[in-house]
Amino acid sequence: DAKTTQPPSMDCAEGRAANLPCNHSTISGNEYVYWYRQIHSQGPQYIIHGLKNNETNEMASLIITEDRKSSTLILPHATLRDTAVYYCIVRFRLVGSARQLTFGSGTQLTVLP
Partner 1 sequence: EAGVTQFPSHSVIEKGQTVTLRCDPISGHDNLYWYRRVMGKEIKFLLHFVKESKQDESGMPNNRFLAERTGGTYSTLKVQPAELEDSGVYFCASSPLRDRKNTEAFFGQGTRLTVV
Catalog residues that contact partner 1 under the rule CB under 8 A.
34, 38, 41-46, 49, 93-98, 100-105
Q: Which is nearer to partner 1, 12 or 71 (CB)?
A: 71
CB of 93 to partner 1, least distance (A): 7
CB of 105 to partner 1, least distance (A): 6
CA 35 from centre of chain: 3
CB of 48 to partner 1, least distance (A): 10
Q: Whole-angstrom Cα distance, residue 74 to residue 105?
A: 19
Q: Which is nearer to partner 1, 41 or 53 (CB)?
A: 41
Burial of 72 (0-12, 13-18, 19+ CB in 10 A): middle
Q: Which is nearer to partner 1, 95 or 113 (CB)?
A: 95
What is the number of helices (H) and of strands (E) in the chain? Answer: 0, 9
